[in-house]
C-alpha cells in the first residue's frame, strides 16, 4: 500500500516511513536472525552474456547477475537503463533471497536457471554516487583476480 501511494505521486511522511519500517522488521518471514542469513539481490530482467572461450564454437551463455549489495545492483540497473533506449520506463522486478535458498534453488528445476548466475561482490561506489562508478562485464572479471588455475594456486 505504501508503494502504491508513492506510485500515485504521493509522499511518505516520517511517521508513515517509520510505520513501514516497523512493519517490515516485525512481519517479514526472512532475515530476522542476527547471523547466518546472507541477502542476495537480483533483478529478474537483467542478464549478462558470457562469451565462449577463444577457439570454442559453443554459443554464449546467459548469466543472471546476483548482488550482495542492493546499492550496486540499483546503480548497475540505472546505468543499463540510461544506455538502452528500449529499457526506459521499465520497472525492475527486484528479488531478495537468502544465499542458502539460492544454493538449494541451484539444485532443483526452476523457471529461472539458477545454475548460471554470477555472484557480484559489493563494490565501493564512487564519491559522487552510483553515476560516477562504472561497472561493466569487461571490467569486472572475478576469475582474473584469482591468480592461478586452481584454488590450490591461491
Give dist(CA 132, CA 122) in Å, integer.
16
Q: Residue 49 forms beta bridges with which residues?
A: 62
Query: One digit per residue, pLDDT tens: the chain, 154 residues?
Result: 555 554 555 555 777 767 776 776 677 677 777 777 889 999 988 888 888 777 777 788 889 999 999 889 988 888 888 888 887 778 888 888 999 999 999 999 888 888 899 999 998 866 444 455 554 444 444 444 444 555 454 4
In this prediction, residue 138 carries a pLDDT of 43
Cell of 141: 572479471
- Give the H/E segment covering residue 119: strand 117-120
- DSSP state letters, 33-74: SSSS--EEEEETT--EEEPPPTT--PPPEEEEEEES-HHHHH
Indicate the pTM of the whole model. Answer: 0.61
Residue 142, C-beta contacts closer than 8 angstroms, at least 6 positions apart: 118, 121
Amino acid at each position: 500500500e505504501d508503494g502504491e501511494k508513492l506510485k500515485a505521486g504521493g509522499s511518505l511522511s516520517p511517521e508513515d516511513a517509520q510505520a513501514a519500517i516497523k512493519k517490515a522488521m516485525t512481519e517479514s518471514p526472512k532475515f530476522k536472525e542476527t547471523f547466518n542469513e546472507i541477502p542476495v539481490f537480483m533483478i529478474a530482467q537483467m542478464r549478462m552474456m558470457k562469451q565462449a572461450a577463444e577457439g570454442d564454437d559453443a554459443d554464449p551463455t546467459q548469466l543472471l547477475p546476483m548482488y550482495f549489495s542492493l546499492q550496486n545492483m540499483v546503480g548497475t540497473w540505472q546505468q543499463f537503463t540510461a544506455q538502452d533506449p528500449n529499457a526506459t520506463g521499465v520497472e525492475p522486478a527486484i528479488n531478495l533471497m537468502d544465499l542458502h535458498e539460492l544454493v538449494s534453488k541451484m539444485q532443483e528445476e526452476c523457471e529461472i536457471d539458477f545454475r548460471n548466475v554470477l555472484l557480484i561482490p559489493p563494490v565501493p561506489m564512487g564519491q559522487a554516487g552510483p553515476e560516477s562508478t562504472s561497472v561493466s562485464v569487461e571490467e569486472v572479471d572475478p576469475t582474473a583476480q584469482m591468480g592461478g588455475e586452481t584454488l590450490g594456486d591461491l
